[in-house]
Amino acid sequence: MAKRARYRLSRREFVNLVVGALGSIMGAVVGIPIIGYLVSPALKAQKSEAWIPLGPLENYPIDVPTPFNFTRTKVHGWERTVSSYGVYVLRTAEDQAKVFSNVCTHLSCRVKWREDLGQYACPCHDGFFDKNGDVISGPPPRPLDQYETKVEDGNLLIHFVEG
């Protein structure tokens, strides 16, 4: 006889146990779908990446930040949203270019290249970046984001990653 056998489950305890177990199962059967239903769109991976062509590299003047705009279509649930993005292309050499996002690293306003200042200026909180995207003054915490670039057959492409 094992020692454990001495302990006898009373009828009341047994019923409590069974009710508790069945109740938990039923709660899970009802609760999990509801939580999944409410939360699932937030958990879906909405990553998108692509190589976006910015045209022949030779179109861009050397050492002058030149704006380029493109659009991306995203599906949010039942809706397609077309978002536009802006970048600045800085052709540094005959076959090289840096491409900066025009999103200010402070609070996501759009920066503009000011030829008169020779700086990128963010109108929202007076953030300034130099030609290479480094912070000169103002609140931005880090330099302008850069895209990975490559040149294929004389065409400039950037690696666009989102999400």
Partner 1 sequence: MTEKVLSWLDERLGLTTIYSVVLDRKVPKVNWWYTLGSATLFLLIMQILTGIFLTVYYVPSPDHAYDSVQYIMTGVSFGWLIRGIHHWGASLMVVFVVLHMLRTFYLGAYKYPRELTWFTGVILLLATLGMGFTGYLLPWNQRAYWATTVGTSIAGTVPVIGPLIMRVLRGGTDLSAVTLARFFAMHIWGLPAIILAVVGIHLYLVVRIGISSVPTEED
Which spans of this chain sit near partner 1 (rule: CB under 8 A)?
33-34, 36-41, 77-79
Query: Would you say 23 or 53 has its CB closer to partner 1?
Result: 23
Query: Would you say 30 or 62 has its CB closer to partner 1?
Result: 30
Nearest to 161 by CA among 50, 45, 43, 44: 50
Q: Are 66 and 88 in contact (CB under 8 A)?
A: yes
User: Which region, left, alpha or beta, applies to residue 77 given φ > 0 means left and ψ of -120 to 50 means alpha?
Assistant: left
Calculate the CA dihedral of residues 114, 119, 122, 127 and round it to 10 degrees.
-150
CB 160 to partner 1: min, Å: 24
Query: Would you say 7 or 78 has its CB closer to partner 1?
Result: 78
* Host H or E run for residue 92: strand 79-93
CB 36 to partner 1: min, Å: 4
Structure tokens at 55: 């045209």
* Host H or E run for residue 99: strand 96-101
CB 38 to partner 1: min, Å: 7
CB 21 to partner 1: min, Å: 22
Query: Would you say 1 or 45 has its CB closer to partner 1?
Result: 45
- In the three-class reduction of DSSP (H, G, I as helix; E, B as strand; rest coil), residue 140 is classed as coil
CB 25 to partner 1: min, Å: 17
Query: Would you say 77 or 141 has its CB closer to partner 1?
Result: 77
Structure tokens at 155: 């065409």
